[in-house]
């Protein structure tokens, strides 16, 4: 779920919105306690359902519920979203993180490999949609000794695509903050994942919430332009269950966007997460047929620090769905490979081959991604 600070959004003028649409949305929110979603582009401009924005303001809500628009190209010539793992080193030990079962060698992506990847993405972004490039995966990217160079390299592109960085905030001193704020980065995600100091220490393995709050304050203080949009991530798990409303109320004015993410067990690999996922997220379900998992058919590429490419975040060690390696092939060659086509076909068919797949077969992520148990109907976060 994504909640937007009103001040971060560019909405169409009120005079251009039919009053009856705003009144209908206000009535819906008042009667059902649920809200529709405004649709925004990567620059936080509303492109659909602006009545949600105005209804939420009139009702005195702390923010507006929405989602980012995804540009869908039917040409299928290239992945439309990337995660570049600049490093898989991390200085936190978050209890819900898939790094706990990561067996891959810990290293830093070389400058040469980074530039090769970015150059190819940049060339294809001129002819097909690249919705976002994440500059992280299973590591703290700001630990990379060439992190500044990497930000600068992307910033010099003539047609930069939206970029996103997620960080635990531990390295956000004044020098690092100024570097990030002066870059072309579109989104900066600060991983809070807890509302109080004790829970934060428990979740992160001993880190202090006060340091992260100070980093947040400095991010806003040193930002001199509209971007990067400052996003706070909140993961629902033990210790934070049913705390989202409180979190939004407390922090929405300190950032641009609050993202609420569900705890995942990554296809059953994170046993410490499975009990919570089964009880609080998956619920009873309706016992219906298996649905197509969006992660199986999306055009997304996770490029790990050594160049290995997988199509799904659940393949933590590139053990089940490795499609190739960008040190040996281009992204285009890997995306056009028979094994990638077979992976997509397997998911679309939802047949015996999928059920027997060692990672995808027992995985329950599809239930979350498809809204299988209708759990993710957005509810109002009140301002009371």
| Structure confidence by residue, pLDDT tens digits, 216-230 | 999 999 999 999 999
147-155 vs 111-125: helix axis angle to the nearest 10?
20
139 burial (CB, 10 Å; 0-12 / 13-18 / 19+) is buried
CA distances from 166 to 145, 192, 203, 352 (A): 17, 11, 17, 37
Assess whether pLDDT exceeds 70 at residue 376. no
Q: Inform me whether the pLDDT recorded for 130 exceeds 70.
A: yes
Give the separation between CA 103 and CA 301, rounded to whole angstroms: 20
How far, in Å, CA of 315 to CA of 309, rounded?
Answer: 10
Q: What is the pLDDT of residues 273-327, one digit of tens each?
A: 888 888 877 765 555 678 899 899 999 999 999 999 999 999 999 999 999 999 9
- The distance between the two most distant Cα atoms of the chain, rounded to a whole number of Å, is 58
Per-residue pLDDT, averaged over 78-93, amounts to 97
Dihedral class, residue 44 (left if φ above 0, else alpha if ψ from -120 to 50, else beta) = left
Three-state secondary-structure class, residue 165: strand
Q: How confident is the model at residue 379 (pLDDT cuts 50, 70, 90)?
A: low
The residue among 1 and 2 whose pLDDT is bigger is: 2
Q: Where are the alpha helices (DSSP H) in 104-234?
A: 111-125, 147-155, 174-181, 197-204, 209-222
12-21, 231-240, 284-293, 360-369: which range is least confident on average?
284-293
- Tell me what pLDDT residue 284 has: 58
pTM of the model: 0.93
Q: What tens digit of pLDDT does each residue of 115-127 get?
A: 999 999 999 999 9
d(CA 215, CA 236): 22
Model pLDDT, residue 33: 87
pLDDT band at 371 (very low <50, low <70, confident <90, very high): low
Over residues 155-167, the mean pLDDT reads: 91
Give the Cα separation of 260 and 63 in Å (integer): 14
β partners of residue 165: 188
Q: Which one has a higher pLDDT value, 80 or 75?
A: 80
pLDDT over threshold 60, residue 206: yes
CA dihedral 214, 217, 223, 226 (to 10 degrees): 130
pLDDT at 373 over 90: no
pLDDT at 367 over 90: no
Cα atoms in the 13 Å half-sphere on the side-chain side of 126: 8
């Amino acid at each position: 779920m994504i909640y937007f600070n009103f001040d971060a959004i560019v909405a169409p003028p009120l005079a251009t919105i039919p009053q009856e649409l705003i009144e209908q949305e206000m009535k819906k929110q008042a009667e059902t306690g649920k809200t529709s979603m405004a649709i925004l582009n990567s620059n936080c401009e509303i492109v659909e359902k602006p009545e949600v924005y105005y209804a939420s303001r009139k009702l005195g809500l702390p923010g507006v519920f929405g989602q980012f628009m995804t540009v869908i190209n039917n040409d299928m010539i290239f992945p439309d979203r990337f995660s570049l793992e600049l490093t898989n080193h991390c200085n936190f030990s978050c209890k819900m993180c898939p790094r706990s079962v990561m067996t891959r060698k810990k290293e830093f992506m070389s400058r040469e490999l980074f530039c090769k990847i970015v150059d190819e993405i940049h060339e294809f972004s001129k002819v097909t949609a690249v919705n976002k490039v994440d500059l992280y995966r299973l590591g703290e990217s700001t630990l990379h000794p060439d992190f500044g160079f990497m930000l600068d390299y992307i910033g010099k592109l003539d047609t930069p695509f939206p970029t996103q960085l997620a960080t635990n905030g531990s390295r956000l001193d004044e020098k690092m903050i100024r570097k990030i704020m002066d870059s072309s980065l579109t989104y900066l995600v600060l991983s809070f994942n807890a509302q109080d100091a004790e829970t934060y220490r428990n979740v992160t393995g001993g880190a202090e919430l006060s340091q992260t709050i100070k980093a947040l304050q400095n991010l806003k203080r040193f930002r001199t332009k509209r971007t990067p949009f400052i996003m706070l991530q909140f993961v629902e798990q033990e210790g934070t269950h049913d705390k989202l409303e409180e979190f939004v109320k407390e922090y929405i004015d300190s950032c641009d966007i609050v993202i609420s993410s569900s705890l995942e067990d990554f296809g059953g690999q994170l046993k410490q997460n499975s009990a919570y996922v089964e009880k609080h997220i998956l619920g009873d379900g309706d016992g219906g047929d298996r649905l197509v998992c969006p992660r199986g058919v999306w055009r997304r590429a996770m490029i790990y620090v050594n160049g290995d490419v997988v199509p799904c975040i659940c393949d933590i060690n590139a053990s089940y769905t490795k499609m190739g390696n960008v040190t040996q092939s281009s992204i285009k060659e890997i995306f056009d490979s028979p094994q990638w086509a077979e992976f997509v076909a397997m998911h679309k068919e939802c047949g015996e081959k999928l059920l027997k797949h060692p990672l995808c077969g027992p995985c329950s992520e599809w239930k979350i991604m498809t809204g299988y148990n209708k759990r993710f109907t957005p509810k109002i976060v009140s301002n009371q």
